Amino acid sequence: MISWPNLVSQLFNGLALGALLALISSGLTIIYGTLGVLNLAHGAMFMIGGYAGFVAYQYTESFVLAVIAGSLFVMLLGVLMERVIIRHFYHRPHEDQLLVTFGLGICFVELVRLIFSSQSQLVPPPAMFRGITNLGFMFYPTYRLAVVGIVAIALGALFIILYRTRLGMIVRAGIEDSVMVDSLGINVYRVFMVVFGIGAMAAGFAGIVNAPVVSLTPGIGDDILVQTFVVVVIGGVGSFPGAILGGLIAGEIISVTSMFNPGYAYVMLFAVMTLVLVVRPHGLLGVQGRE
Amino acid sequence: MLKQRQFLIETLTAIGLIAAPFVLPHLGFAPNTVNRILVWGLFGLGFDILFGFTGLLSFGQSAFYGTGGFVAAYLLTRAGFSNVLGALIIGMIAAAVTGYLVGLIALRRTGIYFAMITVAIAQVFFFVEFNPLSDFTGGENGLPGVPTPSFNLGFTTVHFTNGWSLYQFIALCYFIGVIIALRIVRSPVGAILSAIRDNPLRATAVGHNIHGYKLTAFVIAAAYAGFAGGLLGVLQAFMPPDAFTFDTSGQLVMQTAIGGRSTLFGPLVGAAVWLFLQDFLQAALGLGAAWKLVLGVVFVLLVCFLRGGIIGGLADLYRLASGRRKRTEAEAEQEATDAAPTRQPAPASMQAKEVEHPAYSRPILKATGLTKRYGGLVANSDIDFSVNQGELRGIIGPNGAGKSTFFKMLTCEVAPTSGQIVFEGRDITGLKITEVCQLGLTKSYQVNQLFTGLTVRQNLTIAALAELRGKFRLDLFRKLSGIKGLAEQVEHTLALVNLTRRADTPVSELAYGEKRRLEIGLALATSPRLLLLDEPLAGMSPRERVETVKLLKLIARGRTMIIIDHDMDALFELVERITVLQEGRVLVSGTPEEIKTNAAVQEAYLGGVHGEIAA
C-alpha cells in the first residue's frame, strides 16, 4: 500500500502545501500581532488573490504580471478595508472584530460568486513550468516544485521586510507593545494600515500562486482559513517563525495522512494541535502573555 | 437586561407562541418557515448563554448541532428506536458529553484562540461525519426517513405530522427551552457568567472557579444545539449532512448578532429576519444567489452601527423615549447625595468570615524569605513579614519598591520565585488566587477591577456569592433570592461603602470616587478575615480621602488589614505599625512615630540629601 515513491511524492506535496500555509499564516499572524485583530476575512483575501490574478492572466497572458496584479489588488483591498472599517474596531471588543471581519469575508465570497458564478475556473500554469520533471527516482509536476521555490522567495522577502527594514523593526516593536511604539512618536495607525496591506497581500499572493494547482471556486478560502488557524495555534500567535514552522508541520500532516485516508487528515491535524495546546499552550514559538 | 418581574417574559412567550399560527400566515410565513425559525431560535438560546452572557464567541456550534441531530436520527432510522422524544433527548445528552470533551480543550485558551480552536474542531467533526463515520451518518446522503413524534395518551394517540401540527410540538420544545434558559440566566450561575464576560480576572479573584463555569456554559450551549439538531431531522424528515458545515455555525453567529446578543430571544429574531429576507429577496425581488450578499452587507452594517442588534436597538429607542424622565430623577438624587456627603448610616461592623481556628491568636499571616525575580530584575528579595490577628498594618515605600508585587504574592496572584507564605497556620504558597480568597484572604486593586457592564448591586452580589456558595456549584435552577444571607450581605456592604443610593446604577455611570469605594466593597463582600488594600486612596480628592479613611476605620473592626498607600498622613493616622519597603527589601518596621523619625526612611524618600533636610 505504501510505496516509497508515493511517500516521497506526498512529502513533496506536503512541502508545497506547508510553504503556502506558512505564507498565508504569516500574513494573518503579523496582522494579529501588530493590530490585535484576527482577520476572519483572510481566507477571502486568498480567494480574491486567485480571482484577481485569473482576470489579469486572461488579459495579459503573462503569469508574472498576473501574480503582480493579483497581489497588488489584494493589498489595495486590504488597505481600503483597514481604512474604512477595521480601524473603527481597534477599541471595540475582540468579539466585534471577529464578527465584522467574518461578515466582510462572507460579502467578498458572495460578491465573487455573483461575478464569476460558483463554477470552478481553471488557471493554467505558466508555460515554463508546465509538464513533469524527472527527479531521478520519481516524476513530479514541475509547477508544484516551482510553487515551493516561489513561496520560499516570497517568505524570504517577507523576512527581509520584517527583520531588515525600518518598517519591519517598527512592526516587530508594535507586536511587543503598540502603545509604547505610539508614544515614541511613530504614527502607529499608518503602520497598522501598511501591515494590514502586507498581510492581505501575502494571502493574495498565495492565492494566485496556488491557483494553477487547484481550480478556483469562491469557497476556496474557507478551508484554507481553518488550516491557517491551526497553523497559528501550533506555531504561536504573532510569531513569524512560528507561522513558518507551523505551516510546514500542518502541510506534512495533511499530505501524509491523506495518503492513508483523506478523511483523517483533519483529525490528525487537530490531534497535533491539541497536543501542542496541552504541552505548550502558547504555541511552539509563541510568547507567553499575549492573548 | 431582562426584567425581573416574575413570569412576565414566560407569559409573553407563551402568548406569542400560541398567537403565531393565527398571525404569521397573514404576514406571508409558511408553517415550515416558522418551524425552522423556532429550531434556530432553540439552537440560539444555548448559544446566547455562551456568547451573549459569558462572552465566549464560538464558531464551532455546528459540531454539537450535527452530533445531536445525527445521534437522534440514527436511533430513529437505523437502530429501530421508535420514541422520537427519547431519541431527541439521547441526542441532546450525546451533544452535551461531546461539548464537555471539546470544552476541555477549547477553553484552555480565551479570546481569539478560543474562536480559532472552535472553528478547527467543528471542521474535524465535518470531515469525520463525511468519511470515517459515513456508515452511520449516510455520508453526503444524510439520513432520510426520520419519523415525526406521536404520543399515546391511552384513550387517543396524538401525532404531530407536519406544518402547524408539528409546530405545536416544536413550539412546546421551544417554550420549555426558554423557561430553562431564563432560570439559568437568573440563577447564581447566570450572574457569575456575566461577571466572567465583564471581568474574568476579578471573577477569579473574588473566589469563583471560572474555568468550571465557562465549561458549564459550553456544555449548556452544546445541549441546546444537540436538541435543536434532532428537531431539524424531525422537521425535515431527513437529517442533512450540511448541519455539520461551517456555514451552520456562521449562520447561527450572524443571526444572534442581527437579533441582539445577551437577550435570549435575539437568535429567534435574527432567524426570522434571515429566513424572511432569504425568501423575500430570492422570490419577490428575484435576486437569486445574491440574497446572501445582501444579508452579509446588512450584517456588517449592524455590527458597525448597532452593536446590540435589532432587540438592542429597540431597547435603546424605548429607553430614549421613556428614560429621559428617569434620568433627571436620578440626577436630582445624585445631587442630593453629593450635597450630604457626611451622611453615614453607621452600620454595625460587618462580621468577618467565621474563624475556623478560634484559638488562633498568633500571626494570621507569616511570610518568610519571599523573593520574586522577573528575569534579571529582582522585584522582591528575601522579605520576612508577619501580621498579627486583628492588626492594622501599613506598607509604604517609594515607587518601584515592590509593594504591589508583594501584595500579588500574598494573594497568590503571582507565584514567588522562592519563600513561603503561611495564612492562619496553613501553607498557602502555590495555591490559586481563587482558593486563597475562599480561605478568607483577598485584596482590593490599585487600578479598579470592576464588572463594568453590571450594576453596583450585581457587582457586590457576585462577590458575596463566592463566599456563600464556594468556588464552584451547579445550582442552575436556584433563584438568587433563594440564597440565605445573600441579600443581607449585599445590603450591608452597600451601606458600609455608602453606595446604597446608587445600588441599581450601572458601574459605567459611577463617579471615580464611587468606583473606588465599590472596589473596596467587592473585596469586603467576600467577608475576608485578612484584607489587603492596594492604594485605596489613590486619585481621590481631599474630601473623598477623608470619607474613605473613615470607611477604612469602620471596616477595620473585627478584621486584619494591610494597606499600601502613598498618603502618609492618612496612613499614620490609620495604622498601628508600618513596614517600609525599599528596592524590594524590608527597610524597617515600626510604629508610625518610629517611622516618622527614622533617618533611613527619610533618606529612602528624599534620596540621601542629609544636609538639606533640616532646611
Interatomic CA distance for residues B578 and B392, integer angstroms: 9
B244 and B126 Cβ atoms separated by less than 8 Å? yes
- Residues in chain A within 8 Å Cβ distance of B250: 102, 106
Interatomic CA distance for residues A96 and A79, integer angstroms: 20
Q: Which of A176-185, A282-291, B85-94, B398-407 has the highest mean pLDDT?
A: B85-94
Q: Which residues contact B18 (CB under 8 A, 6 or more apart)?
A: none
Cβ pair B253:A102 closer than 8 A: yes
Instruction: Give yes or no for residue B445 having a pLDDT over 70.
Output: yes
Q: For B401-411, what is the mean pLDDT? A: 90
Give just the sign of the alpha carbon dihedral B538, B542, B544, B546: positive
Q: Which residue has the cell 487600578?
A: B447
Q: For B292-314, what is the mean pLDDT? A: 91
- Please give the biggest Cα pair distance in chain B: 105
Cβ pair A226:B246 closer than 8 A: yes
Cβ pair A38:B115 closer than 8 A: yes
Q: For B576-589, what is the mean pLDDT? A: 89
| Secondary structure in 3-state letters for B485-538 | CHHHHHHHHHHHCCCHHHCCCEHHHCCHHHHHHHHHHHHHCCCCCEEEEECCCC
- Specify the higher pLDDT residue, A107 or B1: A107
Contacts 24+ apart (CB under 8 A), B551-554: B551/B496, B551/B497, B551/B498, B551/B517, B551/B520, B552/B520, B554/B346, B554/B349, B554/B496
Cβ pair A291:B293 closer than 8 A: no
Cβ pair A291:B290 closer than 8 A: no
Q: Which range has the worst mean pLDDT, A141-145, B138-142, B339-343, B410-414?
A: B339-343
The interface residues of chain B toward chain A in range 34-63, judged by CB-CB distance below 8 A, are 51, 55, 57, 59
Query: Of B409, B407, B412, B404, whose CA–CA distance to B438 is shortest?
Result: B412
- Give the pLDDT confidence score for residue A35 in this predicted structure: 85
In a 3-state reduction of DSSP, which class is residue B431? coil
Query: Is the minimum CB–CB distance between A96 and chain B shorter than 8 Å?
Result: yes
- Specify the higher pLDDT residue, B41 or B149: B41
Cβ pair B105:A106 closer than 8 A: no
Distance from CA of A284 to the nearest CA of B (A): 14
- Give the pLDDT confidence score for residue A130 in this predicted structure: 80
Instruction: Give yes or no for residue B67 having a pLDDT over 80.
Output: yes
Instruction: Give yes or no for residue B339 having a pLDDT over 60.
Output: no
Stated as kind and residue range, the H or E segment containing A103 is helix A94-116
The interface residues of chain A toward chain B in range 221-250, judged by CB-CB distance below 8 A, are 222-223, 225-226, 229-230, 232-233, 237
Distance from CA of B518 to the nearest CA of A (A): 24
Name the residue among A113, A277, A278 with its Cβ closest to that of B289: A113
Cβ pair B124:A274 closer than 8 A: no
- Specify the higher pLDDT residue, A287 or B276: B276
B185 and B49 Cβ atoms separated by less than 8 Å? yes
- Residues in chain A within 8 Å Cβ distance of B253: 99, 102
Interatomic CA distance for residues B413 and B223, integer angstroms: 34
Query: Is the minimum CB–CB distance between B374 and chain A shorter than 8 Å?
Result: no
Interatomic CA distance for residues B561 and B532, integer angstroms: 6
Name the residue among B51, B111, B304 with its Cβ closest to that of A100: B304
Residue of A nearest to B301 (CA): A100
Q: Which residue has the cell 446578543?
A: B261
Classify residue B131 by its DSSP letter: T
Task: Calculate the alpha carbon distances from B69 to B27, B34, B55 in Å.
Answer: 30, 19, 26
- The distance from CA B110 to its chain's CA centroid, rounded to whole angstroms, is 13
- Give the pLDDT confidence score for residue B1 in this predicted structure: 44
Query: Is the minimum CB–CB distance between B568 and chain A shorter than 8 Å?
Result: no
Cβ pair A98:B300 closer than 8 A: no
Query: Is the minimum CB–CB distance between A288 and chain B shorter than 8 Å?
Result: no
Interatomic CA distance for residues B66 and B72, integer angstroms: 10
Distance from CA of A200 to the nearest CA of B (A): 18
Residue of B nearest to A282 (CA): B109
Angle between helices B31-48 and B163-186 (to 10 degrees): 20
Give first-to-last CA distance, chain B, whole Å. Answer: 61
- Give the pLDDT confidence score for residue B430 in this predicted structure: 87
- Residues in chain B within 8 Å Cβ distance of A267: 124, 127-128, 132
Classify residue B559 by its DSSP letter: S
pTM of the entire predicted model: 0.89
- Give the pLDDT confidence score for residue B323 in this predicted structure: 66
Instruction: Give yes or no for residue B352 having a pLDDT over 80.
Output: no
| B contact test, residue of A227, A266, A288 with most B CBs within 10 A | A266
In a 3-state reduction of DSSP, which class is residue B438? helix
Distance from CA of A138 to the nearest CA of B (A): 30
pLDDT digits (tens, 9 = 90+) for B187-231: 999 999 999 999 999 999 999 999 999 999 999 999 999 999 999
How much is the ipTM here?
A: 0.90
B601 and B607 Cβ atoms separated by less than 8 Å? no
Name the residue among B51, B130, B292 with its Cβ closest to that of A263: B130
- Give the pLDDT confidence score for residue B171 in this predicted structure: 95
- Specify the higher pLDDT residue, B44 or B126: B44
Report the share of chain B in percent with pLDDT over 90.
47
Query: Is the minimum CB–CB distance between A32 and chain B shorter than 8 Å?
Result: yes
Bridge partner list, A139? A134
Tell me which amino acid residue B593 is. E
Neighbours of B610 (CB within 10 A): 10
Q: For B292-297, what is the mean pLDDT? A: 91
Buried b (16+ CB within 10 A) or exposed e, A176-211: eebeebeeeebebeebbbbbbbbbbbbbbbbbbbbb
pLDDT tens, residue order, chain A (291 aa): 567 778 888 888 899 999 999 999 999 998 988 888 899 999 999 999 999 999 999 999 889 999 999 999 999 999 999 999 998 998 888 889 999 999 999 999 999 999 998 888 888 888 888 888 877 777 788 888 888 999 999 999 999 988 888 888 888 887 777 777 777 878 878 888 999 999 999 999 999 999 988 889 998 998 899 899 999 999 988 888 999 999 999 999 999 998 888 778 888 888 898 888 888 888 888 765 444
Cell numbers placing A199: 498581510
Cβ pair B116:A100 closer than 8 A: no
- Residues in chain B within 8 Å Cβ distance of A92: 307
Average pLDDT, chain B: 86
Name the residue among A107, A262, A263 with its Cβ closest to that of B300: A107
**pLDDT interval class at B613 (50, 70, 90):** very low
Cell numbers placing A191: 503602520
Query: Is the minimum CB–CB distance between A114 and chain B shorter than 8 Å?
Result: yes
In a 3-state reduction of DSSP, which class is residue B423? strand
Q: For B137-157, what is the mean pLDDT? A: 82
Distance from CA of B290 to the nearest CA of A (A): 6
**pLDDT interval class at B344 (50, 70, 90):** very low
Interatomic CA distance for residues B292 and B250, integer angstroms: 12
Q: For B153-158, what is the mean pLDDT? A: 78
Q: Which residues contact A13 (CB under 8 A, 6 or more apart)?
A: A144, A255
Q: Which residues contact B417 (CB under 8 A, 6 or more apart)?
A: B371, B372, B373
**pLDDT interval class at B348 (50, 70, 90):** very low
- The distance from CA B552 to its chain's CA centroid, rounded to whole angstroms, is 29
Distance from CA of A274 to the nearest CA of B (A): 7
- Specify the higher pLDDT residue, B179 or B600: B179
Instruction: Give yes or no for residue B358 having a pLDDT over 50.
Output: no
pLDDT digits (tens, 9 = 90+) for B307-338: 889 999 998 888 888 865 555 555 555 554 44
Cell numbers placing B207: 473566589
The interface residues of chain B toward chain A in range 271-330, judged by CB-CB distance below 8 A, are 289-290, 292-293, 296-297, 299-300, 303-304, 307
Neighbours of B141 (CB within 10 A): 11
Angle between helices B291-305 and A94-116 (to 10 degrees): 160
Cβ pair B51:A98 closer than 8 A: no
Q: Which value, to the nearest 10 degrees, does the dihedral of the CA atoms of residues B167, B171, B174, B178 take?
A: 160
Sort strands B577-582 and B392-396 into parallel, antiparallel or unpaired: parallel
Neighbours of B182 (CB within 10 A): 18
Q: Which residues contact B377 (CB under 8 A, 6 or more apart)?
A: none
Give just the sign of the alpha carbon dihedral B408, B410, B415, B419: positive
The interface residues of chain B toward chain A in range 113-132, judged by CB-CB distance below 8 A, are 113, 115-117, 119-121, 123-124, 126-128, 130-132
Interatomic CA distance for residues B352 and B18, integer angstroms: 52
Instruction: Give yes or no for residue B102 having a pLDDT over 50.
Output: yes
Please tell me the total number of residues recorded for chain B in this structure: 615
In this complex, how many residue pairs, one in chain A and one in chain B, have their CB atoms less than 8 Å apart?
A: 122
- Residues in chain A within 8 Å Cβ distance of B109: 277, 281, 291
Cell numbers placing B162: 407536519
Query: Of B6, B472, B59, B46, whose CA–CA distance to B254 is shortest?
Result: B59
Bridge partner list, A141? A132
Instruction: Give yes or no for residue B361 having a pLDDT over 70.
Output: no
Query: Is the minimum CB–CB distance between A106 and chain B shorter than 8 Å?
Result: yes
Give first-to-last CA distance, chain A, whole Å. Answer: 44
Neighbours of A131 (CB within 10 A): 11
- Give the pLDDT confidence score for residue B268 in this predicted structure: 96
- Give the pLDDT confidence score for residue B615 in this predicted structure: 41
Cα–Cα–Cα angle for B177, B181, B186, rounded to 5 degrees? 155
- Residues in chain B within 8 Å Cβ distance of A96: 303, 307
Q: Which range has the worst mean pLDDT, A142-146, B34-38, B438-442, B521-525?
A: A142-146
Q: For B242-266, what is the mean pLDDT? A: 92
- Residues in chain B within 8 Å Cβ distance of A225: 119
Interatomic CA distance for residues B307 and B285, integer angstroms: 28
